Amino acid sequence: MKKRLGHIFLVDDNHDMRFYLSDLLTMVGYTVDAYEDPRAFLSQSLDISPAVLLLDVRMPGITGLELQARLHTLGRKTPIIFISGESNQDEIITAFRGGAIDFLLKPFTREKLCETLDRALDIDRDRNLQFINLDNLKRSFVTLSKREQEIFMLIVQGLTNKAISEVTGIQPGTAKKHRATIYQKFDVNTGADLISLCHGVDLTQLMPAYA
């Protein structure tokens, strides 16, 4: 059986369903933390990655949708998959608008559940890698001068030294020198390397340093 790598947070007030899913997911290779009460999840769970929150919709006290909203307010970005025995269209729409990865209606098959969990874990891995890449980019970006930051943004758009010269008003030779300094600070050899380094990263996150 395929060994699955990833952490599943399971929040469901139904005792039988919670234990069934916890045993099933542990058996197929996930690490599982199960909670009966959403408040216990909020107070005890760690913000780790890769992870997925498998969340029941209708629970007493705090509903699944309310927990989703609270996590958003707290800045927790763990992907959420909702599960429900009975839900109306408004609940489903609200869940997806809140960023849910999927909404599974009971009963669902083990294959469907694992397929959905693996997809969500992949999303969380990608998100975490993008965060790491962005953090590394920020560390290098702040070492650039204002002019170098400006030229960096133009390089990652694919502009040549001549085009950079036309945009900024500096000489092509000066643009070339700035480019070489930028490559050195980012430990790359070509513009293509720099563009690849920035792939999948929201460069607007660098703008506070750039402004």
* Confidence band for 204, pLDDT divided at 50, 70 and 90: confident
* Residue 161, SS3 per DSSP: helix
Predicted structure pTM score: 0.68
d(CA 133, CA 98): 25
Domain spanning 142-210, CATH architecture: Orthogonal Bundle (1.10)
Burial class of residue 93 in the structure, from the number of CB atoms within 10 Å of its CB (0-12 exposed, 13-18 middle, 19+ buried): exposed
* Confidence band for 200, pLDDT divided at 50, 70 and 90: confident
Query: How far from each other are the two terminal CA atoms of the chain, in whole angstroms?
Result: 52
pLDDT at 156: 93
For the stretch 46-63, pLDDT in tens is 878 899 999 999 999 899
- What is the sign of the dihedral through the CA atoms of 78, 84, 89 and 91? negative
Find residue 52's DSSP bridge partners.
Answer: 8
Fold type of domain 7-132: Rossmann fold (3.40.50)
Mean local confidence (pLDDT), 115-136: 87
Of 25-34, 139-148, 150-159, 197-206, the range with the lowest mean pLDDT is 197-206
d(CA 102, CA 4): 19
Check whether 211 has a pLDDT greater than 60. no
pLDDT at 26: 94
Q: What are phi and psi of 5, to 5 degrees?
A: -110, 120
Domain ranges of the chain: 7-132, 142-210
Check whether 202 has a pLDDT greater than 70. yes
For the stretch 64-94, pLDDT in tens is 999 999 999 998 889 999 999 888 899 999 9
pLDDT at 207: 66
Decide which of 195 and 3 is more confident: 195
Decide which of 127 and 119 is more confident: 119
Closest CA to 186 of 155, 147, 209: 155
**For the chain, percent of residues with pLDDT exceeding 90:** 73
Mean local confidence (pLDDT), 14-43: 94
* Confidence band for 2, pLDDT divided at 50, 70 and 90: low
Mean local confidence (pLDDT), 30-48: 91
Burial class of residue 169 in the structure, from the number of CB atoms within 10 Å of its CB (0-12 exposed, 13-18 middle, 19+ buried): exposed
* Residue 67, SS3 per DSSP: helix
Write down the mean pLDDT value for the chain: 90
For the stretch 126-180, pLDDT in tens is 888 777 778 888 889 999 999 999 999 999 999 999 999 999 999 999 999 999 9
